[in-house]
Amino acid sequence: MKQQDDLYDVVVIGGGPAGLTAGLYLARARYRVLILEKEEFGGQINITNEVVNYPGIAKTDGRTLTETMRRQAEDFGAEFMAADATSLDVEDDIKTVHTDRGDLKTFGILVATGANPRKIGFPGEAEYAGRGISYCATCDGEFFNGREVVVVGGGFSAAEESVFLTKYASKVTILVRGDDFTCDSAVADEAKNEPNIDIRYNTEMKSVSAGEGGLVSAVFHNRKTGEDTEWKPSKSKNFGVFVFAGYEPQTNILKGIVDLDDYGYVVTHGYLETSAAGVYAAGDLRKKNLRQVVTAVSDGAVAGVELERYAKDMSEKTGLVPPRPTNSNYEKSEAEKAEKAATSGTSPAPAAASVSASDAAKTSGFFDDAIRKQLDMVFGRMAQPLVLELSLDGTKLSQELKGFVDELVGLSGGKLSVVVALAPGEGEEDEGGRATFDVQDSMPMVRPCVRLCKTGADGELQPTGLAFHGVPSGHEFNSFVLALYNAAGPGQSVDDGTQQRIETLDADGGTTEVMVLVSLTCTMCPTTVLSAQRIAADNPKVRAEAYDISHFPELQSQYDAMSVPCIVVNRTAPDGTTRQKVEFGKKTVPQMLDLIDEAKAHVPVQRF
């Protein structure tokens, strides 16, 4: 047998519950496994506010549950990569996964890319997406505080998220196409018994209309009588629509490679193998009768064990062996226990329940021990130091940002330093100490703000064009850390074509400003922020700044944002003419570049 260092036993495409579970099983069995995720590890379950039906855990939220799964897989030696799998070559014994960060060689492939929310297509749905139409209650529910909302759908998500929306909405109306919900009765009964929920069966959304302030009316269609009825909210002037109409499987990468059903779901066999040898599928992308986190985890375990056997067979056939994980946290822990047992002459005792002062110090502040390890990797790869420039006001949020940045700088090993450009009490502030700003500015100077800078040869600070207004925690923490990496270099790689588009943007002498309004609970926002800031990191004519919309409602009103991410692109031509485009939704780097190009065609902005 010959070891081949660039070879994996299994590459898992998709970092949701199915992919993480498969990675855990494979790594624990000492197989080399790499888990790819193009967005955020955890998948769709991350947006679930409350999980109460996962066996053994009485109550948690989706993000906490999947973060535990990720750490388990990592502790056993699973490897992780943030990358987008673009195509597969599966004909040979050693297969190739092509990604936007290079090619990966592997014996087996597990595709666990899940499914995304399905759009219905009624008139007004696309036009008012982000301005009244939403697909994520956790991300956008707070924007409808005190207003009525309409939920479209009759499945598990519709019933569960309707109950969640009653935390904000004055009333929730559910439109169910059939005679009853299609989910289990326990979930449906909770919605049926909620006094602020009105359910209309055999009813579809036909269209929506907007007026001053947002959506003002809708037309409901009764599927039994054929009657159309105009509906208007009775408890609020405007309302929102949340669409939970099922999901579309993310199987484009598998078209022409494995068998799919008429709806695009993967057809799998007894042990989740597909029609292509060595290619397995797990989770919501495959044809099945129940799509829940518990079934995704089950799929991951079954596929993981089968891929152990497949990788072993291929290793014996080819005479090649990937390097094995031999230095995982689990193995280190087991070795320490064995060493202590050998020294004492007794078997290892259970760990003490109390926490020592040193252990407590590791998890104090903003970052726990696991996050610190991840930060160590990023700081170790940064090509040059950065300066974090703070602009603060007299609010508690500024105090929080200062503490966050100070702790981050302290962990950086000298790669980061901090300066305060604007201190509390400086600049214009209201009586409460909150900084005032002009919402009509193309990039408002909103405080608190942390701006990423470099130090020039003359010792002066040079802004990189990347900044965050608020505290980059929650879902935005990963995008902020990657912003540091991209600003300091070498940064995340992109394909040659995309790199050329970034470098030639505004070659005519113009400039581009991208403002992204985000929520720290939004799972789609980090990808969008990262895409904009990845462009700005390589092009000095581009600025990309993120704003936590929960702290700056003036910006929400300025752009009628009822959903996040809200992207405001301002392109200024060499003659000083500025054109603006406002867009909603998750954007990759190429999609962000397309959006910036589209801004050229818009009507010039009038500044007063």
Each residue's pLDDT tens digit, 285-309: 998 877 778 899 999 999 999 999 9
Q: What is the pLDDT of residue 605?
A: 64
- The radius of gyration of the chain from alpha carbons, rounded to an integer in Å, stands at 26
40 versus 351: which is more confidently predicted? 40
pLDDT, mean of residues 213-228: 94
The pLDDT of residue 55 is 85
- pLDDT at position 603 is 66
Average pLDDT over residues 449-459: 94
Question: Per-residue pLDDT averaged across 483-502, rounded?
Answer: 90
User: What's the chain's average pLDDT?
Assistant: 89
Residue 267 and residue 260 in contact, taking contact as beta carbons nearer than 8 Å: yes
Quick one: which H or E segment has residue 402?
Answer: helix 396-411
On the question of pLDDT at 357 being above 70, the answer is no
607 falls in which pLDDT band (50, 70, 90)?
very low
Taking the C-alpha atoms of residue 577 and residue 104, their distance in angstroms, rounded to an integer, is 46
CATH T-level fold of 369-601: Glutaredoxin (3.40.30)
Distance CA 501, CA 265 (A): 34
Assign 52 to helix, strand or coil: coil
Q: What is the pLDDT of residue 59?
A: 81
> For tokens 């009333």, what's the residue?
171
- Helix, strand, coil: what percent of the chain each, to 5? 30, 25, 40
Q: Is the pLDDT of residue 350 over 50?
A: no
- CA-CA-CA-CA torsion for 280, 286, 288, 291, nearest 10 degrees? 110
**CA-closest candidate to residue 547, choices 512, 513, 589:** 513
Maximum mean pLDDT: which of 108-112, 320-324, 373-377, 471-475:
108-112
Beta-carbon count within 10 A of 461 CB? 14
pLDDT score of 45: 66
User: What is the reported pLDDT for 66?
Assistant: 84
Cα torsion 448, 452, 456, 462: sign: negative
Q: Do domains 2-116+248-321 and 133-245 have the same CATH topology?
A: yes
Residue 242: pLDDT over 60: yes
User: What was the pLDDT predicted at 116?
Assistant: 79
| Closest listed residue to residue 599, CA positions, set 577, 582, 576, 587 | 582
Which tens digit of pLDDT belongs to each residue from 549-598?
A: 999 999 998 998 888 999 999 999 998 899 999 998 888 899 999 999 99
Dihedral sign computed on CA atoms, order 443, 449, 454, 457: positive
* Segment among 14-23, 83-92, 241-250, 325-334 with least mean pLDDT: 325-334
Q: What is the mean pLDDT of residues 211-230?
A: 93
In the structure, what pLDDT confidence band is assigned to residue 107 with cuts at 50, 70 and 90? very high
The pLDDT assigned to 361 comes to: 36
Backbone angles phi, psi at 148, to 5 degrees: -85, 150
**Banded pLDDT at 231 (limits 50, 70, 90):** very high
Is a pLDDT exceeding 60 seen at residue 150?
Answer: yes
Give the pLDDT band (50/70/90) at residue 352. very low
Any idea which of 81-90, 363-372, 425-434 has the lowest mean pLDDT?
A: 363-372
pLDDT confidence of residue 216: 94
Look up the CATH number of domain 133-245: 3.50.50.60
Using CA atoms, how far residue 339 sits from 30, 327, 353, 359, in Å, is: 21, 16, 21, 21
322 closest CA partner among 577, 26, 63: 26
Task: Select the more confidently predicted residue: 488 or 368.
Answer: 488
Q: Which residues contact 37 (CB under 8 A, 6 or more apart)?
A: 14, 15, 19, 80, 81, 82, 83
pLDDT for 143: 87
384-411 confidence digits (pLDDT tens): 999 999 999 999 999 999 999 999 999 9
* Angle of helix 369-381 versus helix 396-411 axis, rounded to 10: 60
- For residues 62 and 109, the model is more confident at 109
Using CA of residue 66, residue 71, residue 76, residue 80, what is the dihedral sign?
Answer: positive
Q: Is 147 exposed, middle or buried (0-12, 13-18, 19+ CB in 10 A)?
A: buried
Residue 310 has pLDDT above 90, yes or no: yes
User: In angstroms, rounded to a whole number, what is the distance separating the alpha carbons of residues 334 and 340?
Assistant: 10
Which range, of 87-101, 164-178, 290-304, 339-353, averages the lowest pLDDT?
339-353
How far is 442 from 454, CA to CA, in rounded Å? 23
**DSSP letter string over 410-432?**
HHTTTSEEEEEEE-TTSS-B-TT
**Is 147 or 363 the better-scoring residue by pLDDT?**
147
Q: CA 52, CA 57: separation in Å to the nearest integer?
A: 7
Single pTM value for the model: 0.65
- CA-angle at 148, arms to 553 and 64, nearest 5°: 65
State mean pLDDT over 26-43. 86
First-residue to last-residue Cα distance in the chain: 74
What angle in degrees, to the nearest 10, is found between the helix axes of 17-28 and 62-75? 20
* CB atoms inside a 10 Å sphere around CB 443: 16
CA distances from 382 to 2, 162, 492 (A): 34, 45, 11
pLDDT grade for 366, boundaries at 50, 70 and 90: confident
Domain-wise residue ranges, the chain: 2-116+248-321, 133-245, 369-601
Who wins on pLDDT, 357 or 310?
310
For residue 387, give the amino acid letter.
Answer: V
The answer to whether residues 279 and 258 touch, using CB atoms and an 8 Å cutoff, is yes
Mean pLDDT, range 120-126, rounded to an integer: 91
Nearest Cα residue to 571 out of 542, 528, 592, 546: 542
Buried b (16+ CB within 10 A) or exposed e, 520-530: bbbbbbbbbbb
Handedness of CA 29, 30, 31, 36 (dihedral sign): positive
Of residues 371 and 413, which shows the higher confidence score? 413
Count Cβ atoms within 10 A of the Cβ of residue 28 and give its class: 0-12 exposed, 13-18 middle, 19 or more buried: buried
Q: Which amino acid is at 90?
A: V
d(CA 278, CA 124): 44
CA distances from 493 to 83, 102, 378 (A): 9, 9, 15
Please determine, for residue 50, whether its predicted confidence score (pLDDT) is greater than 50: yes
Q: What percent of the chain has pLDDT over 90?
A: 63
Distance CA 195, CA 145 (A): 17
Q: What is the CATH number of domain 2-116+248-321?
A: 3.50.50.60
The band of 446, judged by pLDDT with boundaries at 50, 70 and 90, is very high
* Residue 358: per-residue pLDDT: 36
